[in-house]
Amino acid sequence: MLFTQLGLCEPILKAIEDQGYTSPTPIQAQAIPIVLQRKDVLAGAQTGTGKTAGFTLPLLELLNQNPTKGKPKVRALILTPTRELAAQVAESIETYGKYLSFKSCVIFGGVGINPQKAILKKGVDIVTATPGRLLDLMSQGSINLSDIECLILDEADRMLDMGFIHDIKRILKVLPKDKQTLLFSATFSDEIKKLSDGLLHQPELIEVARRNTSSEQIKQIIHYVDKDTKKALLTHLIHEEKWTQVLVFTRTKHGANKLSEHLNKNFILSAAIHGNKSQGARTKALADFKAGKIKVLVATDIAARGIDIDLLPHVVNFELPNVPEDYVHRIGRTGRAGNNGVAMSLVCGEEMQMLEDIETLIKKDVEVIEIDDFTSVQKKVSPPKQGGNRGNQRGNSKPRNDRGGRTNADRKHSRNENGSSRKEEHSNSGDSRNRNDGRSRNNDSRANSNDSRNRNDGRSRNNDSRASSTDSRSRNEGRSRNADSRANSNDSRSRTDGRPRNNDSRANSNDSRNRNDGRSRNNDSRANSNDSRNRSDGRSKNNDSRSKSSFSSSTSSSKDNKPSSKPSAKRRPANY
């Protein structure tokens, strides 16, 4: 098929002929007739397939079919994600519309806004813009978009990645609803299809290349090399292979600057292009690269979106991209318009997982080439396992008092039962029983009498109940904290039924009982009677009940009470 068969006017065909083209690319052959029918289009084509001309040529034809009189109005709006791409599209419009009387302009950030206002004030037919600067002009009332006939979104996938979707929606609100909309994308992802549902009206679907595939015109090569040797290897390749034009990709702006400085020090003319560079510096670097004034252009992924060189022979991935799809974007800068190209990647050990992801995406293994004195032996590794022993380790930590420090509760042994309870019980009497029926932790109950019983029926933690009498029972059933109760009477009972604190009740009796009916913590009840019982039926923590005489039973709820006697030197920490 020839361009003359696509229904384009003579001035446009003449401009195409001036560029040396006679036949359209696949995306151009499919898109141009559909656009000329004023239908919405959703087109997916890889970088370098000629998609820019695929929408600029029919756009110029449509505007030429319906010329306006008087001062030009903005009739077509083209949105791009980056300044470089906006400049490239504007250049395409100037190239193919040079024999037409249309006026166009390009607006983007990084340069003064006043000159752009002046151009818009004179009147233009076509505006190519980045979303941010366009919104600035809209907010200042410097541009009128009410006469838009055609909206074109170029590199829509990148605009999604850069978060421009909200800006695009704001722009759409002021555009006429009966406009024609064209959505072109370097890749044709499921997200792009979803986006088109809200932007396009019954669009024609065009997809000339499979998603996320690399061109067969591009020879892909890998060099395994240590990270610190990458600069030396790149310098060696440029000198030895006598490369005259190579585009090098880095992941960061800082890395691009450092690499460019290194190459210049080694007598290889180069320049860096990225978002931190001024627009003037970026434009000059790109122009010098196209003109052959510099051999190497070091770029980040975003800045490289506007680079369009048909005969670019070499692309080097100095660092692999974090996103596998960006690899396809990068190497697509070479091997354009049916020409052959070489895409080389310098891969170090820490990039092996990225390489695996890329090869999975493109469904092929990239050829590996070794170079003496530079190649390092690499092995593909699996990503590290996540997690580890970071679960609930509370059972292994030492108990803390109310001030956050360590308590003086002593433990001789600890045991974890059923994943949630730990207790230690020692019996040196004729009839001692220790029961743990709840979720208790670090319970230390010791009985040294003929008939002492220590029971934990709730959720007690760090209970230390010790009985040294004939039949002593101490009960904690409440919600008291740090209770220190001591019994020194004949028949006294101290009972706490709520959530008391700092209770100090002391009774000395033959039959004294101390109860806490809540949730007790750090209870130190010491009974010295013949009939004392220590029982924790609630959710007690750090209970220390001890009986060492013929009769006593008590409970106290103070936070800061210290035990009346020092712990035995033979006792060990609770987490021993």
Q: Tell me the pLDDT tens digit for each residue of 77-87.
A: 999 998 888 99
pLDDT at 245: 95
Task: Report how far residue 242's alpha carbon sits from residue 563's, in angstroms, rounded to the nearest whole number.
Answer: 86
Q: What's CA 236's distance to the chain center, in Å?
A: 36
More confident residue, 470 or 79: 79
* Average pLDDT along the chain: 73
| Tens digits of residue pLDDT in 125-144 | 999 999 999 999 999 999 99
Copy the structure tokens of residue 151.
């909206």
Q: What is the CATH number of domain 218-368?
A: 3.40.50.300
Flag whether pLDDT at 545 surpasses 70: no
The stretch 89-110 carries a mean pLDDT of 94
Cβ atoms of 410 and 546 within 8 Å: the answer is no
Burial class of residue 353, CB neighbours in 10 A (0-12, 13-18, 19+): middle
| In the chain, where the domains are located | 3-207, 218-368, 410-573
Flag whether pLDDT at 554 surpasses 70: no
pLDDT at 257: 95
To which H or E segment does residue 193 belong? helix 190-199
Question: Would 3-207 and 218-368 be classified into the same CATH topology?
Answer: yes
Going by C-alpha positions, the residue among 520, 527, 533 that lies closest to residue 564 is: 527
| Whether the predicted model's global pTM rises above the 0.85 cut | no
Lowest mean pLDDT among 168-172, 293-297, 363-367, 400-404: 400-404
Lowest mean pLDDT among 286-290, 333-337, 503-507: 503-507
> For residue 234, how many other CB atoms are within 10 A of its CB?
27
Flag whether pLDDT at 13 surpasses 60: yes
| Tens digits of residue pLDDT in 171-223 | 999 999 999 999 988 766 677 777 788 889 999 998 875 545 566 788 999 99
Flag whether pLDDT at 446 surpasses 50: no
pLDDT at 216: 74
Alpha helices in 300-445 (DSSP H): 324-331, 352-362
More confident residue, 307 or 224: 224
pLDDT at 339: 78
The stretch 526-544 carries a mean pLDDT of 40
Cβ atoms of 137 and 107 within 8 Å: the answer is yes
Q: How confident is the model at residue 308 (pLDDT cuts 50, 70, 90)?
A: confident
pLDDT at 460: 39
pLDDT at 557: 41
Task: Report how far residue 313's alpha carbon sits from residue 557's, in angstroms, rounded to the nearest whole number.
Answer: 83
Q: How confident is the model at residue 107 (pLDDT cuts 50, 70, 90)?
A: very high
Buried b (16+ CB within 10 A) or exposed e, 402-416: eeeeebebbbeebee
| Tens digits of residue pLDDT in 393-439 | 333 444 444 444 444 444 444 444 344 333 333 434 344 343 444 44
Question: What helix, strand, coil percent values describe the chain, rounded to 5?
Answer: 30, 25, 50
**DSSP letter at 29?**
H
Flag whether pLDDT at 518 surpasses 90: no
Going by C-alpha positions, the residue among 536, 564, 547, 544 that lies closest to residue 487 is: 547
Q: What is the CATH number of domain 3-207?
A: 3.40.50.300
Task: Give me the residue label for tokens 């090869």.
Answer: 359
Q: What's CA 141's distance to the chain center, in Å?
A: 37
